[in-house]
Amino acid sequence: MGRWRSIRRWGLRIGLGGFVLLAMLAGIGWYWERSEEAAFVAAAVTPPDQMLQVGDQTLHVVVSGQGAPGVLLISALGGGPGDWEEVQARLSDSMRVVSYDRPGLGWSPPREGELTLDAAVEDVEGLLAVPGLFDGPPILVGHSLGGQIARHFAYAHPNEVSGLVLIDAPPDGPPGFLLKAEGAFHSLNSWLAAVGLTRWLDYRSHPDLTRAEQRVRAHLHASGAFLRTVRRENDGFENSSPVVVPPNGLGDLPLTFFLAHFSLPGPLRGGLDEFNAAKRLIPRESTRGQLIELNSGHYIQEEHPDTVVAEVRRMRTVVDSLHGSGSGPETNR
């Protein structure tokens, strides 16, 4: 008995010591993360592209090319213009193309309050209202969560859209197993970022960069502020109301849905199949809806940019034939 009592006592001491050490490391990491964030802010790095006032929000916007109908590229959770670099470059040879950072992501300052689908839709509405940005309603191209924003915008403002290209966008409704697992991952990542671990790993992955360059990269991809925004956006979108689909859906609005085919481990495969089955129903919301299935990862626009560019150009031809001038449906703006 004395032996087991001694083992238990030493076990408790070791456990307590480990907890204290872990708490000390977390405190040091928390302080270091905030000091690195403060150093980035103090450096006052100039954003690489335009900063536009959109309603009461300032957004970082990348604008290229000319020609109507234009194209608005809407990124996935935590994404930004970098996700569209090749697609935007190719389309801008004959079309006005715009991509942007949502609030709190990339170079756009954060928004107070909950980050919801409605707020994201309002940002799109504000962008379309910026004088001279678009000459008529654009084609909305949205990837993943960005496709959900584009679809909600089309239902809320049907006369402000020429067409929809949705890239592996999630359906509405209660989050299934896969989305719940993704939400748990973002919550964990946010906690790790709060104590500097994700920044530290990012710095170690790019030892060739100067510390100033590492801070910029972390600001865009691995900082505590960035990953907190990703978690807030994920939570806000999961709690948003589903779109209200009228009897005629989106009517005859041109709509293309790209569905990615990729494999997941056994326990997740059933959830992915169920998720994809719900996605396949979205193109049916338009009489001009079509489904394109590809063997690809989730970022189709990066793995198959030729296919995405070709489809947007085809849709432009459809819009031109429907509306004559190539400027999309008329609006009262």
How is the chain split into domains, by residue range?
50-173+242-323
pTM: 0.90
Average pLDDT on 104-129 reads 92
- Across the chain, mean pLDDT equals 89
Report the pLDDT value the prediction gives residue 36, as an integer from 0 to 100. 92
Average pLDDT on 186-191 reads 88
124-155 per-position pLDDT tens digit: 999 999 999 999 999 999 999 999 999 999 99
Tally of CA atoms within 13 A in the half-sphere of 264 that contains its CB: 14
Percent of the chain with pLDDT over 90: 66
Q: Yes or no: say if 293 and 262 are a contact pair by the CB < 8 Å rule.
A: no
330 CB contacts (<8 Å, ≥6 apart)?
159, 323
Grouping H, G, I as helix, E, B as strand and the rest as coil, residue 98 is: strand
Q: What is the DSSP letter of 245?
A: -
Identify which has the larger pLDDT, 39 or 9. 39
Pairing of strands 50-54, 57-64: antiparallel
Residue 230's pLDDT band (cuts 50, 70, 90):
very high
Report the pLDDT value the prediction gives residue 326, as an integer from 0 to 100. 45
CATH superfamily of domain region 50-173+242-323:
Alpha/Beta hydrolase fold, catalytic domain (3.40.50.1820)
User: If residue 319 lies in a helix (H) or strand (E), which one and from where to where?
Assistant: helix 305-323
C-alpha–C-alpha distance, residues 254 and 240, integer Å: 25
Report the pLDDT value the prediction gives residue 149, as an integer from 0 to 100. 96
Greatest mean pLDDT among 155-159, 179-183, 273-277 lies in 155-159
Residue 333's pLDDT band (cuts 50, 70, 90):
very low
Specify the range with the lowest mean pLDDT, choosing from 23-32, 41-50, 97-106, 127-136. Answer: 23-32
Specify the range with the lowest mean pLDDT, choosing from 27-31, 248-252, 283-287, 313-317. Answer: 27-31
312-325 per-position pLDDT tens digit: 999 999 999 887 65
Percent of the chain with pLDDT over 70: 92
Report the pLDDT value the prediction gives residue 163, as an integer from 0 to 100. 97
Give me Rg for the CA atoms of the chain.
23
**Beta-strand (E) ranges in the chain?**
50-54, 57-64, 71-74, 97-100, 139-143, 163-167, 255-261, 289-295
Residue 177's pLDDT band (cuts 50, 70, 90):
low
Average pLDDT on 182-196 reads 87
Report the pLDDT value the prediction gives residue 24, as an integer from 0 to 100. 83
Average pLDDT on 229-239 reads 89
DSSP 129-190: TSTTT-SSPPEEEEETHHHHHHHHHHHH-GGG-SEEEEESPPPSSS--HHHHHHHHHHHHHH
